[in-house]
C-alpha cells in the first residue's frame, strides 16, 4: 500500500493535484468519558475505508479540532493512518488547522511536520477580521513554512472575514496552495471563482446542501459532513454527473437533499454523532463544551429517519 507520506511525494511531483477531487469526509472525532475514544475511532475509520470516499479531513470543524490538545490530535492522526493502512485504503489525509495568529499557525505546521498527513486544511484567521492584504500575507507565510499542500478553508460566517476571489487567485499562484473548501455562502462568488480559477486549483464545496448544484457548476467535489450517512449515495451523484447522467444524478439528489437539513438542524457535529452512535459505529455521541448533545426532539426525528430507511427528515 502507498503510505500517506508516499501520497505527499506524489502530490508534490504532480502539479495538477488530481487527488483533490471527489467526495471528502471531514471525520467526526469520537469522545468517551472526556477522552479521545480510540477504539471507536479505529472502527469508524475502518468502516469508511470500505466506502467510496476520496479523502479524509481530521480535526476540522466537524472533527471538533479546536477542542483537541496537541497529544490528542497526534493520536487522532496516528490511529487514522494505521486504520487506513490496515484496511488497504490509500487516500489523502489532511489535518485541519485554525488560528488568528500567523506565528502560532506556523508553529503548528512545524509541530506537525513529522505527522503522517498529506496536507492541511487551514481556515482564514477568525475574529480579527484582517484586510485582504493581511489574508494574503497570512497564507503566504504558511505556504513558506511547509512543503505540504494547503487547502484554504473560506467560511466567512464562522471566521468573520471573507477571502475575496482576487486574493484567492493570487494565492493560487503559490505551488503548494492547491485549492479551497468553499463555504463562502455566496453563489455568485463561488461561480466566479470556478470560472476564473487555474486548472490546477481545486474547488471543493463545503456546503452540504449545495453539493449537487456546486458539482453541476464545475466544482471538483465536496468536503461533505452529511456523507457520514449514505456515503455511497453522495459518491454516486458525482459519478453519474461525470458519466453524463444528469437526470439520474438529479433523481438521486432529490431523494437525498433533506438529509443535510436534518443533520444540520442543530449545531454540527451533534446530529451526525448521534446518528453514528445509533448505528453502532461509535460508542458515544459525546461532545465537548461548548458543544452539547442534541435535543430529544431531534433525536426522535433521527430515530424515525433511521427506522424508515429515509435519507431525510
Instruction: List, for residues 199-212, the tens digit of each pLDDT value.
Output: 999 999 999 999 99
**What secondary structure does DSSP assign to 120-186, as a single string?**
EEEEPPPSS---HHHHHHHHHHHHHT-SS-EEEEE-HHHHS----HHHHHHHTTSTTEEEEEE----
Dmax over Cα atoms in the chain, in whole Å? Answer: 51
Whether pLDDT at 154 is above 80: yes
Q: Is 32 helix (H, G, I), strand (E, B) or coil?
A: strand
For 189-241, write each residue's pLDDT tens digit.
999 999 999 999 999 999 999 999 999 999 999 999 999 999 999 999 999 99
The C-alpha atoms of residue 86 and residue 111 are separated, in whole angstroms, by 26
The C-alpha atoms of residue 21 and residue 223 are separated, in whole angstroms, by 10
Q: What is the pTM of this model?
A: 0.92
pLDDT at 189: 97
Q: Is 208 helix (H, G, I), strand (E, B) or coil?
A: helix
**Sign for the pseudo-dihedral over CA of 205, 208, 209, 211:** positive
Q: Which residue has the cell 439520474?
A: 248
State the pLDDT confidence band at 9, using cuts at 50, 70 and 90.
Answer: very low
For residues 148 and 8, is the Cβ–Cβ distance under 8 A?
A: yes
Torsion of CA 43, 64, 292, 223, to 10 degrees: -80
- Map out the domains of the chain with their CATH numbers: 4-307 (3.20.20.70)
State the alpha helices, DSSP H only, in the chain: 4-13, 38-49, 70-87, 102-111, 132-144, 156-159, 165-171, 187-196, 211-216, 231-242, 246-256, 258-263, 270-278, 296-307
Q: Is 223 annotated as a binding residue?
A: yes
Whether pLDDT at 152 is above 90: yes
The C-alpha atoms of residue 186 and residue 48 are separated, in whole angstroms, by 31
Average pLDDT over residues 114-130: 97
Of these residues, 181, 212, 273, 274, which one is catalytic?
181
181 part of the active site: yes
Torsion of CA 207, 68, 112, 40, to 10 degrees: -80
Of these residues, 42, 126, 127, 153, which one is catalytic?
153
Q: Is 62 annotated as a binding residue?
A: yes
Q: Is 24 helix (H, G, I), strand (E, B) or coil?
A: strand
153 part of the active site: yes
* Arithmetic mean of pLDDT over the chain: 93
Amino acid at each position: 500500500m502507498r503510505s500517506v507520506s508516499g501520497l505527499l511525494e506524489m502530490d508534490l511531483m504532480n502539479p495538477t493535484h488530481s487527488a483533490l477531487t471527489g467526495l471528502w469526509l471531514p471525520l467526526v472525532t469520537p469522545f468517551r468519558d472526556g477522552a479521545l475514544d480510540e477504539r471507536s475511532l479505529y472502527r469508524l475509520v475502518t468502516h469508511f475505508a470500505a466506502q467510496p470516499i476520496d479523502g479524509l479531513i481530521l480535526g476540522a470543524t466537524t472533527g471538533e479540532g479546536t477542542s483537541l490538545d496537541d497529544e490528542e490530535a497526534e493520536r487522532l492522526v496516528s490511529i487514522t493512518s494505521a486504520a487506513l493502512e490496515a484496511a488497504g485504503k490509500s487516500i489523502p489525509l489532511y489535518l485541519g488547522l485554525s488560528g488568528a495568529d500567523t506565528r502560532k499557525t506556523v508553529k503548528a505546521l512545524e509541530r506537525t511536520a513529522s505527522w503522517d498527513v498529506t496536507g492541511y486544511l487551514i481556515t482564514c484567521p477568525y475574529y480579527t477580521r484582517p484586510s485582504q492584504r493581511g489574508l494574503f500575507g497570512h497564507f503566504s507565510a504558511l505556504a513558506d513554512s511547509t512543503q505540504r499542500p494547503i487547502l484554504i478553508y473560506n467560511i466567512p460566517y464562522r471566521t468573520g472575514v471573507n477571502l475575496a476571489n482576487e486574493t484567492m487567485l493570487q494565492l493560487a499562484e503559490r505551488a503548494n496552495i492547491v485549492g479551497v473548501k468553499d463555504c463562502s455562502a455566496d453563489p455568485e462568488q463561488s461561480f466566479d471563482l470556478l470560472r476564473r480559477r487555474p486548472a490546477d486549483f481545486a474547488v471543493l464545496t463545503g456546503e452540504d446542501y449545495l453539493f449537487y448544484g456546486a458539482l453541476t457548476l464545475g466544482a471538483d467535489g465536496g468536503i461533505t459532513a452529511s456523507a457520514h450517512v449514505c456515503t455511497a449515495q453522495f459518491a454516486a451523484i458525482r459519478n453519474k454527473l461525470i458519466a453524463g447522467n444528469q437526470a439520474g444524478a438529479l433523481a438521486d439528489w432529490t431523494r437525498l437533499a433533506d438529509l443535510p437539513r436534518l443533520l444540520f438542524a442543530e449545531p454540527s457535529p451533534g446530529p451526525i454523532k448521534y446518528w453514528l452512535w445509533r448505528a453502532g459505529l461509535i460508542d458515544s455521541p459525546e461532545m465537548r463544551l461548548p458543544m452539547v448533545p442534541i435535543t430529544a426532539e431531534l433525536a426522535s426525528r433521527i430515530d424515525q429517519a433511521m427506522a424508515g430507511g429515509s435519507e431525510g427528515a
